Structure 1
Amino acid sequence: MTDTYTTPEQIPEDRPATPADPGVPAAFADHPVTPATEFLRGSWSGDDIDGARRQLEESLDGRQFRARPASGDFAYRFATAGDARLSVQTGTFRGHLQGVIPWSRDYVVSWFQAGSVTIDYPRGQLTSVGARPFLTPTETSFSFAMTPHRHGIVQIDATFLEDIAAERHGGPSQRIVFDYDAVPSDEDLAAWRKVLGDVTPIIVAEGSSGAARLAAQTLLVLALLDLFPWRAVDVPVAIRTERTRRLRLAAEYVHAHADEPITSADIAVASGLHPRSLQAQMSEHLGASPTGYLRTVRLDRVRQDLLSGRPGETRVSEVARRWCFGNLGRFSASYVDRFGELPRETLAR
């Protein structure tokens, strides 16, 4: 990878660009420009460690930020350029920094040219490894501890990424859950870095046309979707809030483990909710008990398998058991109640 824009000083104040810039394919020439494309640029720097801490805490909507100097003189510098869909950011902080990010819907990928970060979130711990890119957990609270560092960031609006991902998975726009522990292959890592180097000049240039910037941003999101394993999770938008984040974790756990003999107690443990709280929140926001929601997800999975199956080769009983339905009579009745037809009629389509 080239060193294009890997430090704050390399994000320029101005650079003309056109849709014909390198890295923008001709297929994007007539691509519609989506809303919220106003170009945004910002940078700040200094040597006041407490001022840097306050500014970062405010700009990141963080809490409990603490900073202490390392050996040598303290200095910081940050720069960002892009728009509300996607921005490229770089930062240098010559001190130790820790704090809490209570909530963010954006998808964020980072890489460190120097220093490191450790992140603790409800499902585990993440630690950066050299310059390898990593993803920050979304729609959850996490704490972090950074050593003196220099890093790059791509911040992506949730709706923008999810709409692009929908074209990949063929369904509606849904929450995307990445595998945070995955280690990219050398091939995928090289492809990501090449796309990043190609499109960054277009994304950060104020003179880029809206169509050119959108094309460059789209290419970068597609490269990210190729870099880490992910899955789309059909959780209602209404529970994708800071207040209902534990309920969202419960719903995601159900989707991830629907083919296993899990119980409502397992769902409560996975979400960190008391069983009675889980019952009340699912009833209020999802209109079902934990076992009822699990049954609905399983029935939907059965239907997907039957629609993609072949009569004469696919057996309804085998598909039902795959999704943990032991009593075939009760399963058939539940299936008819949900879809208005027998399982065998779905398979015969």
Structure 2
Amino acid sequence: MIQNGTTIFVSPDTYSAAIGIGKVEFFVTADGEFKGQLTHLNIGRLHVLRAKENLPRIAFLALPPAHVHISFSTNRTLSMFCCGVGLDFGDLVFHSLGQRTHQRTIGEADWGVISLPSVELAAYSKALTGESLRAPSDNCIVMPADEASTVLLSLISKLCDLAEATGKFFFTAGAASIERELLDALVICLSTRNADRPSNSRRRHAEIMVSFEECLTRQRESHLNLSELCTTIGVPERTLRLCCAEFLGVSPSRYYLLRRLNRARSALRDADPASASVSEIARIHHFTELGRFAVAYRDVFGETPSSTLRRVSNKEE
């Protein structure tokens, strides 16, 4: 089980692995030294996560099917997109069970997730409102009244601030009361009739993007053959480009490049500079021309691959 408390990370890989909401693939899209902070709270049946990041990135999430997940941005400005939709402050993404989807940021981001067993949400909402809340078949954007979202987000902020100030969250005799307060606020928010359910077009685009990710995991070439890839997925090239712009904010080829560059950077950060070489790591990640690799790498991360290899990575405590 994920431990209560807060941790600061300087490696995108260890950060994404510690998010703990299923499988998260995480690709930074701008230069700079990454810094992320995760605060985890286990409160009875609820798990609460608050995340803070300093660099824009694209993430592909594969959520576990037994738990309900509700994600949200806590930035006052538009900084996060989920499932191709920009999130305003107070919007909640009510994810389908086991959903696979993209989440991207366009700058510094603060965001969070609440999760709990799906049967627990159904039972608690039935007792509170007389109606069982269940995860939607397709994710939807819930837009509760300002008063309702303020209660929920303020409570989460207060608890996470306490954990960050003390280094961990201490359970007290009032933990059951805190759980009830959070559940009440969550159910009230999710019970609103004001929700943006995906259109048939957006639902189809989400399916295309999952197929796109599956195809990329099998790619072994340095460049995408978009014609072949689109034939495999069963869509016109124009449609795939439209979907990538909507969900990722970049073209299919650019996203494939960012994936490989991020993975190469992870390998360089973890390698022993005494025995590893940039050219070897570049080849492993399907970069056949070392000069072009170095230029693309510097354009994204603001340093050369050899500089990354030489640097002694900071380790999280």
TM-score range, shorter chain: 0.3 to 0.5
Could you tell me the TM-score, scaled by structure 1's length? 0.44
Q: Greater Rg, structure 1 or structure 2?
A: 1
Could you tell me the TM-score, scaled by structure 2's length? 0.48
